[in-house]
Amino acid sequence: MPRPFRFGVNLLDPASAGEWRAKCRRAEELGYDVILVPDHLGWVAPFPALVAAAEATERPRLGTFVLNAGFSNPALLAREVATTDALTDGRLELGLGTGYVREEHERAGLPWGTPGERVAHLRHTVEELDRLLGSPDHLPRAVQRPRVPLLIGANGDRMLRLAAEHADIAAFTGARPSTNGDKLTPLTAEELDERVALYRTHAAGRAEPAELNLLIQLVAITDDPGPVLAPLLGRQPQLTRDGALALPIVLVGTLDEIVARVHAQRERFGFSYLTVLEPHMEAFAPVLEALRGQ
């Protein structure tokens, strides 16, 4: 029996208090299950934004998508997580990753490190959060027990192993970052098959299967995909039109075509939790409505 669909929207743009609350309420009205925020310099600060989202809404879960572990000390992060979980009445979902933009670390005066060092720091952060937040002596206390649900964003071999060992939600990026994080190259369906298969190998011994998430980069309901795909093809000259339409992170076509595609991707990869970016929040809403409860 497939896991039911769940849908999140990643809110990217800074806004005034009134504008922020209005778009959070709009996400709730459209039926999104999770309101998410990223962790990049120049964008919203995650935890205050989620507390404000909680004040404006009643139903959606609230999550980071995803925190850059390199920005945080585990003990200080545990305080932020516990406080935010309490102030959102136990609606927090904690998303963590290594960070992939070198320039952000340099602007913040933080070490970049090798890929192995960044994964090791994330592993240390996850293990420390489990220890600290799981202790009855830790103050402040999170509402959710035994812990706040953990999402890990993964693509590389070491990250997939870490997600398989620790994450309640394994989030697949569907794209490969460059060394400096200044460009993302989409994964083909066959490449994503290989990544999901490796994750499942590492996760074979889990007592409970994790929820699998995919970040969708482009959404458009249209009978004419050409103009919608043109910017993507300009950035990714290796792609053909048909190749772009076949990318798992692209949902472009008629409503019926997209609904069928989402079902097919759940069957093929196991993705029951889809996240869309803020610019596509309204465009994806009819798809969400068609898939509600399935």
The answer to whether residue 179 scores a pLDDT higher than 90 is no
The domain total for the chain is 1
Return phi, psi of residue 64, to 5°: -95, 140
pLDDT-based confidence at residue 141 (cuts at 50, 70, 90): very high
When pLDDT is averaged across residues 108-137 and rounded to a whole number, the result is 96
- In the predicted model, what is the mean pLDDT of residues 25-34? 98
Write out the H or E segment, with its range, that includes residue 64: strand 61-64
The CATH number of whichever domain residue 221 belongs to comes to 3.20.20.30
156, part of any domain: yes
Which residues on adjacent β-strands are paired with residue 212? Answer: 170, 271
Environment class of residue 275 by beta-carbon count within 10 Å: exposed (0-12), middle (13-18) or buried (19+)?
buried
Rounded percentage of the chain residues whose pLDDT exceeds 70: 98
> Is residue 171's pLDDT more than 90?
yes
Question: Quick one: average pLDDT of 170-192?
Answer: 86
Q: Is residue 1 part of a domain?
A: no
Segment 273-277 mean pLDDT: 98
Does residue 265 lie in a domain region? yes
Query: Would you say residue 229 lies in a domain?
Result: yes
- Position 182 scores a pLDDT of 62
Residue 1 confidence (pLDDT): 84
**Predicted TM-score (pTM) of this structure:** 0.97
3-class SS string, 82-140? HHHHHHCCCCEEEEEECCCCHHHHHHHCCCCCCHHHHHHHHHHHHHHHHHHHHCCCCCC
Amino acid at 21: R
pLDDT digits (tens, 9 = 90+) for 65-111: 999 999 999 999 999 999 999 999 999 999 999 998 999 999 999 99
Q: pLDDT tens across 31-45, in order? A: 999 999 999 999 999
Distances 239 to 6, 178, 219, 236 between C-alpha atoms, Å: 30, 17, 17, 6
> Do the domain assignments include residue 122?
yes
Give the other-Cβ count within 10 Å of 10's Cβ. 23
- CA–CA gap between residue 24 and residue 278 (Å, rounded): 11
Question: Which residues, in sequence order, are bridge partners of residue 67?
Answer: 96
Q: What is the pLDDT of residue 177?
A: 79
For residue 180, the model assigns a pLDDT of: 60
CA distances from 129 to 51, 84, 122, 123, 283 (A): 20, 14, 10, 10, 37
Rounded average pLDDT over 133-160: 96
Residue 264: domain span: 6-291
Arithmetic mean of pLDDT over the chain:
96
Cβ atoms of 267 and 2 closer than 8 Å: yes
181 has a pLDDT exceeding 70: no
Answer yes or no: is 270 within a domain. yes
